[in-house]
Amino acid sequence: METLGLLTGVYSVILVISPCPSNYVTWYKNCYRLVSEPKTWEEAEAACVKEGGHLASVDMSYDQAFISGAIQQGNTDAWIGLRRKADGDTYQWSDGWPVFYTHWGPGEPTNHKGEGCVSMHGRSHFIQGTWNDTACEVTKPYLCKITFGNHLCNNQ
């Protein structure tokens, strides 16, 4: 009974106080914000970390659908949190999630040298919502994600 009371209390707090900062959208225990000011991938990740999150990871297909919708609100491609590791072969999410799911565009990732950062195509692209590995130094809008209840995911 004590546990039930505690849980009821916790849920009440969640219902009353949104766990997301006011400029974020809440979806499935995560907060998302599309930032239109273009930054390089690393600057964008740093800006998201400053707000208590990371560039958005896409953990499953329903995340892909939501995140693609969020990015289509802007005009152009936007950075997500995927980056190729230094070994050149595998990718990792900046928030430490394992890479279970990918949604590469046709022929992607092209794996050109120096193009290890991943953006999602915006609505102006014919394959909107698909992923593209591109040069990390290019500046793009970006999507931050804060996972509430678990801010301790600062894996590198």
CB of 112 to Ca ion, least distance (A): 7
Residue 50 or 113: which CB sits closer to Ca ion?
A: 113
User: How far is CA 83 from each of CA 11, 13, 49, rounded to the nearest angstrom?
Assistant: 35, 36, 16
Give the total of residues touching Ca ion (CB under 5 A). 4
Contacts of 130 (CB under 8 A, 6+ apart): 103, 104, 105, 106, 108, 120, 121
Query: Is the separation of the CB atoms in 80 and 122 below 8 Å?
Result: no
Coil vs helix vs strand at 145: strand
Residue 77 lies near Ca ion (rule: CB under 5 A)? no
- Residue 154 tokens read as 């600062």
Contacts of 38 (CB under 8 A, 6+ apart): 139, 140, 141
Residue 132 lies near Ca ion (rule: CB under 5 A)? yes
Residue 133 lies near Ca ion (rule: CB under 5 A)? yes
> Mask: binding to Ca ion, 80-119, rule CB under 5 A, as x and -?
----------------------------x-x---------
> Mask: binding to Ca ion, 16-45, rule CB under 5 A, as x and -?
------------------------------
Name the site residues for Ca ion (rule: CB under 5 A): 108, 110, 132-133
